[in-house]
Amino acid sequence: MDAEMHRRCANTIKGLAMDAVQAANSGHPGMPMGMADAAIVLWTQFLRFDPEAPDWPDRDRFVLSAGHGSMLLYALLHLAGYDLSLDDIKAFRQWGSRTPGHPEVGETPGVETTTGPLGQGFANAVGMAIAERTLRDTFGAELCDHRIFGICSDGDLMEGISSEAASLAGHLGLGRIVMLYDDNKISIDGSTELTFTEDVPGRMRAMGWHVLQVDGHDPAQIAQAIEAAIAHAEQPSLVCCKTVIGQGSPSFEGTSKTHGAPLGHDEVRATKTRLGMDPDATFAVPADVSTAFRSAAAAELRESWEARVADHPRGSEFRAWLEPDWSALADRVEWPSFEAGTSLATRKASAACLKAITAAVPFLIGGSADLAGSNGTAIGAQALSSAGFAGANTVHFGVREHAMGAICNGMALHGGVRPYNATFLAFHDYQRPAVRLSGLMHQPVLYIYTHDSVFLGEDGPTHQPIATLLALRALPGVEVWRPADATETAVAWRESLLRVQGPSALILTRQGLPVLDREALAPSSAVRRGGYVLSEAPTTEDGSADEPQVVLIGTGSEVATCMAAQQLLADSGVAARVVSMPCRERFAREDAVYRDAVCPPGVPRVSVEAAVTLGWHRWIGDGGVALGIDHYGVSAPAKVIAERLGFTPERVADAVRSLLS
């Protein structure tokens, strides 16, 4: 592309960004205007894509971590020939449009991940690189050979998650990452001199990155830097592009005024005039500009790849990784069985399940935030290392909970692997933003949370999650499983594997729980409905089930407490039904007939859960009683905590008697 055509392409992108933001009366024009030059070089000279097959598995990935600059991406997608019309761009940020304020995967063809919360996309890119290398090391470059390119901002690199992710990427030598850094020295509040004066190149080099610095408005320098980054295959690369935010605006370029607001009609006209554009034309896309972009599409590369996969001796196996039959895979797992009456922590039951799943599903890949032994993820699998990923199933994430979640999102978005990660439930708070995005993006990430309540004991309130269950359940799209015993844990694992349109969280105990007798109680098949009658009210003298006078609803470790309370109540002539509710989201999706059969209308209900009581009203009704803990815990042995806080069969029975009286 010659200099004149490059200038025309840059002006077109700037014009689309200014016009769309102005029409919406909201948005961020400055970043697209400042990074247009670098983006054009990347998309027309290096990025391998095919608009006719946006999900081609061996395409290069492009991650706009600086998601506030969404109009840059929308302009690129439109010019490159993706199914994104000029009318879509004119509807920027409007109800029902395909051009939301920040890029959303699944809403717009060509968008690889949902970005906007800064740093998330950067970490997603690391996850994509892990998935790419896993597939490449396993099947060879003939089947998997692409790169992960991205654009990040000062704000991305300020966020701690980017440091977590960059550190792991450098450690693993993820040389397929090439990140362009929009080094414009401007944030919303003004110059980054206010808060961000560190040596970014030095920091990234210290974390194992290959760093290059260029004039972000010089196409030749940008191209040379990207070439050098691609050639430097041992390390991830950061190309620091020194840019001017809002470049071209006579009054506002280089200032925070272009960051998050329209330029104004007069300034848009003045900018177009300065750039040599028609100030009266809006949403103008010259035909030769579209031609220049669309000629960069790589349909022939995609077709060649498809032929190689079809002819390759491992092509079918490779396709099975990309498009797994989860039902068949779940049936292939040799699920562990557990002896009724024994005691086993659900984290240990989970470890047995995870080991069995990994043996049947080689592309289930994940690990723990430096808690593998405690979380039950130390299953003897080979770990990813800079030397190679083939045959490896374990990622040592280190103490990086936030990046761990976002990296797993990137792995899931990439495809070909199924990610899981683990930490203590209390530390969900550190990774909550990534879990929220898992739900928003409908990504099937598996979250393992152990040490699930005050009953972890002596570590005290810093490690005892009180409100975390409520926080997880508040996230739309997340299924939260808190199994009552080892058998429920196995069912929760199977159901989570089968769920491919959203994340699942398994909430597991540190302490041992009795394995329930499925011969005497409800069968394990009932668990998948999320809530079920575990133990009916005691039988009458003629052998029929007594009508329950109260329904005890428990989750996790408190189900055993409800079972013991049921017997105490029976001894005093009170018929209690015990309902186990391991997954409220599943139970909520059952029809009203089933829910009413489990929790009959008009029958008083008592919930028992070692967590905050907020949120239980829906299930116990106005007249019900929620037994929980609405304050922080204390450092003491678990048995003492249970007695002092009242999580005992006696207290539950007393609460029922008080309710009925």
Q: What is the CATH number of the domain that holds 537?
A: 3.40.50.920
- Provide CB contacts within 8 A for 15, sequence distance 6+: 272, 275, 277, 281, 282, 283, 284
Q: Please give the average per-residue pLDDT across 453-474, as a whole number.
A: 97
What is the pLDDT, as a whole number, of residue 579?
98
- Rounded CA gap, 7 and 65, in Å? 25
CATH code for the domain in which residue 372 is found: 3.40.50.970
Number of folded domains that form the chain: 3
Query: Confidence class of residue 374 from pLDDT cuts 50, 70 and 90?
Result: very high
What is the pLDDT, as a whole number, of residue 545?
62
- Residue 317 bears catalytic tag: no
Q: Please give the average per-residue pLDDT across 536-557, as a whole number.
A: 84
What is the pLDDT, as a whole number, of residue 542?
58
- Rounded CA gap, 41 and 47, in Å? 9
> What is the chain's mean pLDDT, rounded?
97
- Among candidate residues 132, 164, 253, 401, the one labeled active-site is 401
What is the pLDDT, as a whole number, of residue 541?
62
Q: Please give the average per-residue pLDDT across 559-569, as a whole number.
A: 98
Q: Domain of 179?
A: 3-301
Q: Looking at the domain assignment, is residue 309 inside a domain?
A: no
Q: Looking at the domain assignment, is residue 166 inside a domain?
A: yes
Give yes or no for residue 540 having a pLDDT over 90. Answer: no
Considering 513, 547, 568, which residue would you say is the last residue of a domain? 513
Residue type, 90: K
Buried b (16+ CB within 10 A) or exposed e, 398-431: bebbbbbbbbbbbbbbbbbbbbbbbbbbbbbebb
Residue type, 157: L
Give yes or no for residue 99 having a pLDDT over 70. Answer: yes
Question: Is 503 in the same domain as 549?
Answer: no
Question: Is 265 in the same domain as 336?
Answer: no
- Rounded CA gap, 323 and 333, in Å? 18
Give yes or no for residue 614 having a pLDDT over 60. Answer: yes
Question: Is 452 in the same domain as 538?
Answer: no
Q: Please give the average per-residue pLDDT across 576-599, as a whole number.
A: 98
Neighbours of 44 (CB within 10 A): 22
Sign of CA dihedral 394, 399, 401, 406: negative
Q: pLDDT tens digit string along 231-273?
A: 999 999 999 999 999 999 999 999 999 999 999 999 999 999 9
Question: Is 91 in the same domain as 223?
Answer: yes
Question: Is 162 in the same domain as 105?
Answer: yes
Query: Confidence class of residue 381 from pLDDT cuts 50, 70 and 90?
Result: confident
Question: Is 45 in the same domain as 152?
Answer: yes
Query: Confidence class of residue 1 from pLDDT cuts 50, 70 and 90?
Result: confident
Q: Please give the average per-residue pLDDT across 521-526, as a whole number.
A: 97
- Contacts of 350-355 with CB under 8 Å at 24 or more apart are 350/376, 350/448, 350/450, 350/489, 350/493, 350/506, 350/508, 351/376, 351/377, 351/378, 351/379, 352/486, 353/489, 353/490, 353/493, 354/379, 354/420, 354/448, 354/493, 355/379, 355/380
Q: Looking at the domain assignment, is residue 561 inside a domain?
A: yes
Question: Is 452 in the same domain as 557?
Answer: no
**DSSP, res 67:** G
Q: Looking at the domain assignment, is residue 306 inside a domain?
A: no
CB-CB contact of 485 with 514 (8 Å)? yes
| Phi (first) and psi of residue 2, to 5 degrees | -80, 170
Question: Is 365 in the same domain as 475?
Answer: yes
Considering 268, 301, 334, which residue would you say is the last residue of a domain? 301
Q: pLDDT tens digit string along 503-520?
A: 999 999 999 999 999 999
pTM above 0.85, yes or no: yes
Give yes or no for residue 538 having a pLDDT over 90. Answer: no
Q: Looking at the domain assignment, is residue 173 inside a domain?
A: yes
Q: pLDDT tens digit string along 402-435?
A: 999 999 999 999 999 999 999 999 999 999 999 9
Question: Is 165 in the same domain as 28?
Answer: yes
Q: Which residues pair with 542 in a beta bridge?
A: none
